[in-house]
Amino acid sequence: MDKKRVAIPLVCHGHSRPVVDLCYSPVTPDGFFLISASKDSNPMLRNGETGDWIGTFEGHKGAVWSCCLDTNALRAATGSADFSAKVWDALTGDVLHSFEHKHIVRACAFSEDTHLLLTGGLEKVLRIYDLNRPDAPPREVDKSPGSVRTVTWLHSDQTILSSCTDMGGVRLWDVRSGQIVQTLETKSSVTSAEVSQDGRYITTADGSTVKFWDANHSFGLVKSYNMPCTVESASLEPKYGMKFIAGGEDMWIHVFDFHTGDEIACNKGHHGPVHCLRFAPGGESYASGSEDGTIRIWQTGPLTHDDSDEALVNGSVRKVKVSADEVSRKIEGFNIADEGKTREKEKEKEETGNE
């Protein structure tokens, strides 16, 4: 019987609770990287191309709702239900700064120049921390109309974009004045907001709709497509902008043509709702995080996997430790310990039964 050609993802284990946020770094001299946030309170860092586990950031005492990497992938930031946002050394796993809040932190984002950290959450306050002066009080932007769900920067850090958990719309704030200058109207709460790599579009997911907005001039609605189910996340392919992905409660990852909205692929594999989706910076793959506690990395190009049902990439929960030898190899960035790769290969063989 001929086997139907299906997308076979890399499956990244390691989290013990749902995966609720994902963020890729830009391409660095050492490749690109993927950080994941989970309700298990242990954010994880992985090689963005292979899914290989690099390390786990230990220190939060509650669910981690948001995660991000700075432009050089040298620092990570996380927002948590333990009322804190933390900045981490992405090479060692050590906490660099811990910023206490008065309620759950749902969203965080590094500025493009990496000097600032933006946070938001159930306090209904947007805060900007100066990472060059971490002990200084943060700047508080004008009070948000609702609990903050997403935050991001655009226009070379001159504008802040945020959405709320309990109301529709995306608000754009002028950083200098601290005031809302525009609201992108949506019927439902926006659960995902992404600025395209070229800065042209804002991609939002609200209810069962994915919308694309002009990010530079009028902030007008460019395209709006109805989805086959309630979707929680959407991402636009960054290199050519010809396709986008969306995922949500039906557990599938849907791939659509950007210009027509036609569905061109549907990838199945998760065993729970899909909470987050992001394209890799080169568009050659994308990652999905789910209620089932796994991350799956899907190739967008021709299949290169063998006929095995799944490629297992296992991670264990422990703090990133750096030996003297590794430090010498990490002078300019990351390096996955050879020992760690060997351990993961041995685990893969055990679980797949391959010799």
pLDDT tens for 271-317 read 999 999 999 999 999 999 999 999 999 998 643 333 334 444 444 33
Half-sphere exposure of 351 (CA within 13 A, CB side): 16
Chain-centroid distance, C-alpha 69? 9
Tell me whether residue 327 is in a domain.
no
The band of 7, judged by pLDDT with boundaries at 50, 70 and 90, is confident
Tell me whether residue 194 is in a domain.
yes
Is 237 a residue whose pLDDT tops 70? Answer: yes
Tell me whether residue 326 is in a domain.
no
Tell me whether residue 174 is in a domain.
yes
Position 58, amino acid: E
Note the pTM of the prediction, 2 decimals. 0.84
pLDDT of residue 156: 93
Domain of 70: which CATH number?
2.130.10.10
Q: Do 17 and 293 contact (CB within 8 A), yes or no?
A: yes
Tell me whether residue 247 is in a domain.
yes
pLDDT of residue 301: 66
Closest CA to 69 of 294, 312, 333: 333
For residues 315 and 84, the model is more confident at: 84
Tell me whether residue 218 is in a domain.
yes
* DSSP assignment letter at 72: T
The band of 143, judged by pLDDT with boundaries at 50, 70 and 90, is confident
Q: Distance between CA 48 and CA 282 in Å, rounded?
A: 11
Q: Do 49 and 32 contact (CB within 8 A), yes or no?
A: yes
Question: What residues make up the domain containing 189?
Answer: 18-299
Tell me whether residue 307 is in a domain.
no
Q: Which helix or strand (DSSP H or E) is residue 106 part of?
A: strand 105-110
Contacts of 353 (CB under 8 A, 6+ apart): none
| Structural domain total, the chain | 1
Q: What are phi and psi of 95, to 5 degrees?
A: -75, 125
Position 56, amino acid: T
Tell me whether residue 89 is in a domain.
yes
Chain-centroid distance, C-alpha 68? 7
Q: Calculate mean pLDDT across residues 170-190.
A: 95
Closest CA to 233 of 123, 125, 150, 145: 150
Q: What are phi and psi of 215, to 5 degrees?
A: -90, -5
